Copies of this chain bind each other. A is one copy, B any other.
Amino acid sequence: MSGSREISPLTLNRLSVYLRCLRDLQSLGVDRISSQEMADRYHLSSAQIRKDLAYFGEFGVRGVGYDVSSLAERLHALLGLDVEQRLIIVGMGHLGRALASYPGFNDGSFRVVAGVDIDPKKVGRRMGHLPVYHRDELRELTERTGARIAVIAVPAAAAQETLDSLVAAGLRTILNFAPVHLRASDGVRLKNVDMRIHLEEIAFHLGVGRDDLERAEG
């Protein structure tokens, strides 16, 4: 069993969380930790930590716990973070520029190597150290930089044609921040990031208990 069973996105995201906790522990100088103490510190579940980790191999030592640094390195590699992935961001408005300088997008595992836009006032310039190219240069840019991930940060109306250009340029792993739900064709891994839904989720509770909603069940 070479770890080939399908891994759930929930587990995957928890592994990312564990890695961040371990990095924090490293910065605090902690070099050994039990699942219980980790759960207490970061409000997680100790049983779940053990199950998640054990799924990929025996990382811990019975009676002792986990070695912080070596577990961090294992997770780092497991998540594919030991190979730097280069990103291209399409759309150099505020959102594109925010993502271009977002720490998590430029940290050794990921690096934004180019911006793309169609506005002649932006193309050919540098925006916060990031060179900006025209969308027509995407294929050449992808090949030259070795980027394998693209981020869509254009207005909703331009998102579909942007996706088409990206796929045509050979990019197959795409994160869409435009406020429209795009559908991926076969062989393309696309994730739609919807920032509005977070707002609806927290705002919902502001309205719970309003009298005029109680009739909804009638």
Contact = CB atoms under 8 A, between A and B. Distances in A.
A80 B211 CA distance: 12
Contacts of A201: 9, 12-13, 16, 191
Contacts of A202: 149, 173-175, 189, 191
24 contacts: A3-B216, A12-B200, A12-B201, A13-B200, A57-B218, A81-B200, A85-B203, A85-B206, A94-B95, A94-B97, A94-B98, A95-B102, A99-B195, A102-B179, A102-B195, A102-B196, A103-B179, A104-B194, A104-B199, A105-B195, A105-B199, A148-B206, A193-B195, A193-B198
Interface of A: 1-3, 9, 12-13, 16, 20, 43, 56-57, 74, 77-81, 83, 85, 87, 93-95, 97-99, 101-105, 109-110, 148-149, 156, 173-175, 179, 181, 183, 189, 191, 193-208, 210, 212-214, 216-218
